[in-house]
Structure 1
Amino acid sequence: MSGLLQSALAGGVLRLTLSDAATRNSLSEAMMAELQSALDTAATNGQVRVIVLAAEGPAFSSGHNLKEITAHRADADKGATYFATLFDACARLMLSVVNNPKPVIAEVAGLTSAAGCQLVATCDLAIAAEGARFCTPGVNIGLFCSTPMVALSRNLSSKHAMEMLLTGDIFGAEDALRFGLVNRVVPAATLTETVVMLAAKIASKSMVTVKTGKQAFYRQQDMPLADAYAYTARVMTENLLKRDAEEGIAAFIAKREPHWTDEP
Structure 2
Amino acid sequence: MTDTPLLLRQDEDGVATLTLNRPQSRNSLSQGMLRTLLETFEALADDASVRVVVLAGAGPAFCAGHDLKELRAAEYGRAYTEALFADCARVMQAIVHLPKPVIARVHGIATAAGCQLVASCDLAVAAEDSRFATPGVNIGLFCSTPMVALSRNVGHKAAMQMLLTGDLIDAPTALRFGLINEIVPAQDLVSATRTLAVKIASKSPLTLAVGKEAFYRQAELPLAEAYAYTAKVMVDNLEARDAREGIDAFLDKRAPVWCGR
TM-score (norm. length: structure 1): 0.97
Find out whether 1:21 has 2:19 as its counterpart.
no
Which letter maps to 2:221?
A: M
- Structure 2 segments unaligned to the other structure (5+ residues): none
State the 1:2 CA deviation: 4.5
Q: Which residue of 2 aligns with 1:109?
A: 107
Give runs of aligned pairs for residues 184-195 of structure 1, distance below 5 A: 184-195=182-193
In 2: Cα distance, 1:22 partner to 1:253 partner: 54
Q: 1:258 corresponds to which residue?
A: 256
Q: Structure 1: where are the runs of 5+ without partners? A: none
- Tell me how far 1:36 sits from its aligned partner: 1.1
| CA distance, structure 2, for counterparts of residue 149 and residue 186 of structure 1 | 26
| CA deviation map 1:107-140 (0-9, x unaligned) | 0000111000000000000000000001111000
1:26-45 equivalence runs, <5 A: 26-45=28-47
Partner residue in 2 for 1:89: 87
Percent of residue pairs identical: 57
1:217 is matched with which residue? 215
**Cα distance in 2 for residues equivalent to 1:63 and 1:234:** 39
Secondary structure of 1:232's counterpart equals: helix
Question: How far apart, in 1, do the equivalents of 2:83 and 2:25 lie?
Answer: 21
Structure 1: how far apart are the matches of 2:59 and 2:129?
Answer: 13
Partner of 1:145: 143
Q: Which residue of 1 aligns with 2:50?
A: 48
Quick one: distance in 1 between partners of 2:9 and 2:258? 26
TM-superposed deviation, 1:88: 0.4
**Secondary structure of the corresponding residue to residue 128 of structure 1:** strand
Matched AA of 1:149: M
Corresponding residue number in structure 2 for 1:12: 14
1:205 maps to 203
Quick one: distance in 2 between partners of 1:249 and 1:21?
A: 46
Structure 1 residue 54, shift from structure 2 partner: 0.7
Pairwise CA distance, 1:38:
1.2
- Determine the C-alpha separation between the residues in 2 that align with 1:2 and 1:56: 12
Aligned match for 1:163, one of 149, 161, 164: 161
Q: Distance in 2 between matches of 1:245 and 1:2?
A: 44
Report how far residue 81 of structure 1 moved: 1.3
Report the count of equivalent residues.
Answer: 259
Q: CA-to-partner distance for each residue in 1:68-119, whole Å, 9 max, x for gaps?
A: 111222xxxx511111110000000000000000100000000111000000
CA distance in 1, matches of 2:32, 2:4: 9
- In structure 1, C-alpha distance between the alignment counterparts of 2:27 and 2:4, rounded to whole Å: 14
The CA RMSD over aligned residues, in Å, is 0.9
SS of 1:112 mapped into structure 2: strand
TM-score w.r.t. the length of structure 2 is: 0.98
1:130 maps to 2:128:
yes
